Chain A
Amino acid sequence: MKPRQIIDHIVLILGCLFMVLPVWIALTSSTHSAETLFREGLQLWFGDQFVENYRAVLLEQGGVTKTSTALRMLFNSLILGLGFAVGKIVISMLAAYAIVYFRFKMAEFLFWIIFLTLLLPLEVRIVPSYAVVAQLGLLNTYTGLIVPLIASATGTFFFRQFFKSVPDELLEAARIDGAGPIRFFIDILLPLSKTMMAAIFIIMFVTGWNQYLWPLIMTTDDSMYTIVIGIKQAFQVLYEGGELPRVQEAFALTILAVLPPVLVVLFFQRWFVRGLLESEK
């Protein structure tokens, strides 16, 4: 038993190190000057350039990415991530509500049609979506960035499964208590779905935040770039031109890009776990 546990732990710790080390190096290296990194290579401990580097990345126009400030890009990503997640939750909850609680012809069939779209990733329809958005004059707008993405088969599926697990008697009790379809949705279903919403929010926010291809095609205006595009730009810029590569700023940008999803996961995970504990039984 004991030696076995020790081996298990060694494997786990090695695994963690393997995952965490690159992030650690990015974090520590982002606090050194370009000269240090150039002369001595990547750093494993913090330097003294933290404030300078991050200030430069966040606020300097045409800095490491030669485009927007990181602040602008973080803001764009945040809008995309939030719009993506909230939009998906709203749309898929309403769709699942209709499918589960309203008896209309072919409800089941329509659900499976929605479900089948899971097999079609965004990339498959990216050209027609682009054409539609372009014709509507929505290029370089948040609407154009978000709306084409917010239909969600995954979300609809999860909410459908969840709604089906809510006892019918709850609906019946609410009907007898004088709640119509909208009241029932708002007063009963929505509060019961909190945990589910938190879970889907985590997944969808991170997915939205990490969207790459769609924003890349959609946005031609620098001010609409998301942080993920920014990272790509930064690495493109890194080795062109004669000046010293601003590796430290590229790392700072990366760290900034990772931070919000991490915070969202940390925050909502607590909510998520608490929700699970409360609704037990």
Chain B
Amino acid sequence: MADIAIRDVEKRYANGAHAVKGVSVDVADGELLVLLGPSGCGKSTLLRMVAGLETITDGEVAIDGARVNDVSPADRDIAMVFQNYALYPHMSVFDNLAYGLRNRGVTKADIKHRVDEAAAILGIEDYLDRRPNQLSGGQRQRVAMGRAIVREPKAFLFDEPLSNLDAKLRVHMRIEIKRLQRRLGVTSLYVTHDQVEAMTLGDRLIVLNAGKAEQIGTPMELYENPQTLFVAGFIGTPAMNLLPGKLENGGVTFEGGANLQLPDMLSGKAASKDVVLGIRPEHLHAATGQAEVGFTVTTDLIEHLGADTLLHGRLGGNGGPALTARLPGKVFGSESDRNGFGIVPDKLFLFDAGTGHRI
């Protein structure tokens, strides 16, 4: 077991693509760090540099305190789980698990013992003689995990390991991975573009955007305290309402003319400029009028989700910015009955529209 240090790591591909632009993050011993970001942001590239599958253009990766930039993947003592599992199709499940051990000269008896142990942990004992193409998606996923854990490596690297599974199985395997990682206590890097997966799995998250780290923190830190517009929009479902407007005279004027008076704590902070006001749908609630910022919204659609209800509408009537509210439980009445909302002031986020940074 070990910690991983990533320092000012850069990646430029041969074709000139600048995929990773100076990312630094430390993964503590036993921690699961999730790399989260949209497609093409450089998550896989960063992970593959840690694995040794891509060269590091600049910066440094250290595993267990030792710089590994020039160490081959086999000698980094890491194990990787691939999106398409990359199981050896012509080998039995047993051989798939044993292959890495054989190459490392582990004795036959020891291999048998370790494979059996890993198979028992993952519940794949019954399939050891089968070929990968005789397994279901979920079983293959387990075999891929098994191949990682038999090695007892210093770190696990996961590249979207669940994205080929159906939604239900994904939730199930997500929980299993989390349990397994806790139980084995192996330092892990986990790539995903699914923010729910990231929130539930990660001890900490690093949100990447176009090759840069936007923010690093625990899931709740990122949810409660997004530092940039990008993080605010990326974390949380349904996504945070991001309402562009103009900050002046202690209030924000939105497209369509609606004006919202901000609480002092926000309005005092900046001179007049273009801003984006962020409000999470779940922080809006039916207006009570006390110690709140009030919203007038023309609701035009109600979606019943069962546990919650989503209300879609426009702030300040037609022409205003679109807004979604998420109210707990069942909402009675029709769209026209729902137009007053309130929010506690400290749940409002104000971002600079130019830089994208929190004000």
A180 CB to nearest chain B CB (Å): 8
B92 CB to nearest chain A CB (Å): 12
- A170's contact among B88, B133, B147, by CB below 8 Å, is which? B88
Interface residues of B in 85-115 (CB under 8 A from A): 86-90, 99-100, 103-104
Given the contacts A167-B86, A172-B80, A176-B80, A187 and B74 also touching, CB distance less than 8 Å: no
Given the contacts A178-B104, A192-B89, A167 and B84 also touching, CB distance less than 8 Å: yes
A178 touches B103 (CB 8 A): yes
Please indicate the chain A residues that have their CB under 8 angstroms from the CB of B199 in the complex: none
- Provide the bound-state CA to CA distance between A170 and B133, in Å: 15
User: Is A9 an interface position by the 8 A CB rule?
Assistant: no
- Provide the bound-state CA to CA distance between A228 and B144, in Å: 53
Please indicate the chain A residues that have their CB under 8 angstroms from the CB of B233 in the complex: none
Please indicate the chain B residues that have their CB under 8 angstroms from the CB of A47 in the complex: none
User: Is A118 an interface position by the 8 A CB rule?
Assistant: no
Q: What number of residue pairs across chains A and B have CB atoms under 8 A from each other?
A: 63
Given the contacts A175-B73, A176-B73, A187 and B79 also touching, CB distance less than 8 Å: no
- Provide the bound-state CA to CA distance between A183 and B72, in Å: 15
- A172's contact among B86, B104, B133, by CB below 8 Å, is which? B86
User: Is B119 an interface position by the 8 A CB rule?
Assistant: no
By beta carbon, the residue of chain A nearest B48 is: A172
By beta carbon, the residue of chain B nearest A194 is: B90
By beta carbon, the residue of chain B nearest A170 is: B86
User: A244-272 CB contact bits vs B (8 Å, 1 = yes)?
Assistant: 00000000000000000000000000000
A176 CB to nearest chain B CB (Å): 5
B100 touches A176 (CB 8 A): yes
Interface residues of B in 144-160 (CB under 8 A from A): 147
User: A195-215 CB contact bits vs B (8 Å, 1 = yes)?
Assistant: 000000000000000000000
Please indicate the chain A residues that have their CB under 8 angstroms from the CB of B86 in the complex: 167, 169-170, 172-173
Which bracket fits the contact residues of B? 20 to 34
Given the contacts A178-B103, A183-B103, A169 and B82 also touching, CB distance less than 8 Å: yes
Please indicate the chain B residues that have their CB under 8 angstroms from the CB of A183 in the complex: 103
User: Is B78 an interface position by the 8 A CB rule?
Assistant: yes
Chain B CB within 10 Å — which of A178, A179, A183 has the most? A178
A176 touches B51 (CB 8 A): yes
B90 touches A192 (CB 8 A): yes
- Provide the bound-state CA to CA distance between A188 and B52, in Å: 20
Please indicate the chain A residues that have their CB under 8 angstroms from the CB of B53 in the complex: 172, 175-176
User: Is A279 an interface position by the 8 A CB rule?
Assistant: yes
A187 touches B99 (CB 8 A): yes
User: Is A62 an interface position by the 8 A CB rule?
Assistant: no
By beta carbon, the residue of chain B nearest A281 is: B133
A172 touches B82 (CB 8 A): yes
B99 touches A176 (CB 8 A): no
Interface residues of B in 240-292 (CB under 8 A from A): none
B84 touches A178 (CB 8 A): no
Interface residues of B in 35-92 (CB under 8 A from A): 51-53, 72-74, 78-80, 82-84, 86-90
B313 CB to nearest chain A CB (Å): 46
B208 CB to nearest chain A CB (Å): 21
Please indicate the chain B residues that have their CB under 8 angstroms from the CB of A240 in the complex: none
Please indicate the chain A residues that have their CB under 8 angstroms from the CB of B89 in the complex: 192, 279, 281
Please indicate the chain A residues that have their CB under 8 angstroms from the CB of B133 in the complex: 278-281
By beta carbon, the residue of chain A nearest B90 is: A191
- Provide the bound-state CA to CA distance between A258 and B147, in Å: 50
- Provide the bound-state CA to CA distance between A188 and B96, in Å: 11
Given the contacts A167-B86, A169-B86, A170-B86, A176 and B103 also touching, CB distance less than 8 Å: no
- Provide the bound-state CA to CA distance between A183 and B53, in Å: 17
Interface residues of A in 145-188 (CB under 8 A from B): 167, 169-170, 172-179, 183, 187-188
Given the contacts A183-B103, A281-B133, A176 and B90 also touching, CB distance less than 8 Å: no
By beta carbon, the residue of chain B nearest A166 is: B89
Given the contacts A178-B100, A187-B99, A281-B133, A173 and B90 also touching, CB distance less than 8 Å: no
Please indicate the chain B residues that have their CB under 8 angstroms from the CB of A173 in the complex: 80, 82, 86-88, 147
A residues whose Cβ falls under 8 Å from a Cβ of B: 167, 169-170, 172-179, 183, 187-188, 191-192, 278-281
Q: Which 4 A-B pairs give the minimum distances between C-beta atoms?
A: A177-B100, A169-B86, A178-B103, A178-B74
Query: Given A176-B73, A279-B133, 19 other A-B contacts at CB below 8 A?
Result: A169-B84, A169-B86, A172-B53, A172-B73, A172-B82, A172-B86, A173-B86, A175-B53, A175-B72, A176-B51, A176-B52, A177-B99, A177-B147, A179-B99, A187-B99, A278-B131, A278-B133, A279-B89, A281-B133
Show 9 A/B contacts (Cβ-Cβ < 8 Å), sorted by A.
Answer: A167-B84, A169-B84, A172-B51, A174-B88, A174-B99, A177-B100, A179-B103, A278-B131, A281-B89
